[in-house]
Structure formats: C-alpha cells, structure tokens
C-alpha cells in the first residue's frame, strides 16, 4: 500500500538490472528482486520486497524460489521473527561463477547432447554439408567446454588474478614471434 520509497540510486540500479535480465532471458521481476537484495544491507522478507517493487506478494514468492534455484539468494532467519528473510550473495565473482555454471548445465550441455545426436545419424542420410557444419559447431562447443573445465579446476583466487592481470592474454599466446 504505502509505497516504501527506494533510494534513487538503488531504484536506478534495480530498474536497469531488471531490463538487463529480460535481455538475457531472465524474468524482469526476478532480476529486480535480485538487484534489491544485492544492495540491501540486511535480509528482507517477502512483504518488504513486494512493497519496495510494487508487485504482488505471490509474485515475489515465486521469484524468490527461482533465485534460490539459481543459488544466488538464500533464506535466513531473524530472531523473534517467524517470516523468512532473504539475502543475496555479495561476492560478484562468485555470483558470476554460479550463473555461468547453471547456464552451462541448463542450456549448453543439452545443446551439446543434441549436436552429438545429430552427428549420430547415418552420415549418408543428411548431406555432407550439413554434417560438416554440425561437426564444426560441435567441436566449437566441446573446445569451449573443456576450456571451461580446465578453468574450473583452478582456484577461484588464481582465476581472478589471471583475469585481472592486464595484458594477460598477450603474454600467454603460444610460441614464436609476437602475436599480431
């Protein structure tokens, strides 16, 4: 009812984050709730969130469930309060890692399965050309996956350092002469 007015900076971030969500296939409200929790110093309960964003309580409920499914929001309890409270991870790198991992699991892995399935087909049946394109696509995904797999076995700390190391890439390119 009574609009709990958000700090303008928070509002700006929340709205933008919501838009970004939609562009990457994430429900707007889900993204907004995540943004709100990310900027909230203390855990919030569903009712507060509903008021802050002017959405229905039930909508918040489902969205929180989804965020928990992603593993970037968790429920906590406040002494003397029966309600569930929610907080976001604060470590941006860790959130990024989790999101990448989830999207791999939900979207990339099934795509690779599909591609392998397509290549299974008697190669006479479909044209040579189709088979060639699908092979290239599969190889691309598999290369990316094994790169990712390697990266995953490096400690998060070391990985951060690697990414942060300016000019890191250019030093690392294989062998002779300067890459051009």
Which residues form the interface with DNA (CB under 7 A)?
A: 22, 27-30, 45-47, 54-59, 61-65, 81-84
Residue 18 near residue 35, CB atoms below 8 Å: yes
**Shortest distance, position 175 Cβ to DNA, whole Å:** 45
**Shortest distance, position 52 Cβ to a copy of itself, whole Å:** 14
CA dist 63 and 31 (Å) reads: 9
**Shortest distance, position 50 Cβ to DNA, whole Å:** 8
Q: Give 60 or 134: the residue with its C-beta nearer to DNA.
A: 60
CA dist 37 and 7 (Å) reads: 13
CA dist 141 and 62 (Å) reads: 33
Q: Give 56 or 163: the residue with its C-beta nearer to a copy of itself.
A: 163
CA dist 108 and 89 (Å) reads: 24
Binding stretches for a copy of itself (CB under 8 A): 7-10, 12-13, 16, 20, 22-25, 38-39, 41, 90, 92-93, 96, 106-107, 111, 114-115, 117-118, 121, 125-127, 129-130, 133-134, 136-137, 139-140, 143-144, 146-147, 150-151, 153-155, 158-159, 161-170, 172-174, 179-180
Q: For 39-108, where are the alpha helices, taking DSSP H only?
A: 46-53, 57-70, 92-103
Ramachandran area for residue 78 (φ above 0: left; ψ -120 to 50: alpha; else beta): beta
CA dist 160 and 180 (Å) reads: 26
**Shortest distance, position 47 Cβ to a copy of itself, whole Å:** 21
Q: Which does 155 bind (CB under 5 to 8 A by kind): a copy of itself, DNA, none?
A: a copy of itself
Q: Which does 59 bind (CB under 5 to 8 A by kind): a copy of itself, DNA, none?
A: DNA
**Shortest distance, position 101 Cβ to a copy of itself, whole Å:** 16
CA dist 12 and 66 (Å) reads: 23
């Amino acid at each position: 009812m009574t609009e709990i007015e958000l700090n303008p900076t928070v509002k700006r971030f929340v709205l933008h984050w919501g838009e970004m969500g939609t562009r990457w296939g994430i429900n707007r409200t889900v993204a907004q709730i995540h943004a709100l929790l990310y900027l909230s110093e203390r855990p919030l309960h569903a009712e507060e969130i509903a008021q802050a964003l002017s959405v229905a309580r039930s909508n918040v409920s489902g969205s929180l469930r989804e965020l928990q499914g992603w593993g970037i929001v968790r429920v906590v309890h406040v002494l003397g309060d029966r309600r569930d409270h929610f907080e976001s991870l604060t470590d941006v790198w860790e959130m990024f890692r989790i999101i990448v991992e989830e999207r791999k699991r939900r979207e990339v892995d099934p795509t690779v399965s599909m591609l392998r399935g397509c290549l299974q087909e008697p190669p006479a049946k479909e044209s040579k050309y189709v088979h060639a394109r699908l092979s290239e696509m599969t190889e691309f995904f598999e290369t990316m996956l094994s790169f990712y797999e390697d990266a995953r076995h490096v400690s998060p700390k070391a990985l951060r350092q690697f990414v942060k190391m300016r000019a890191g890439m250019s030093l690392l390119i294989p062998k002779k002469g300067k890459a051009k």
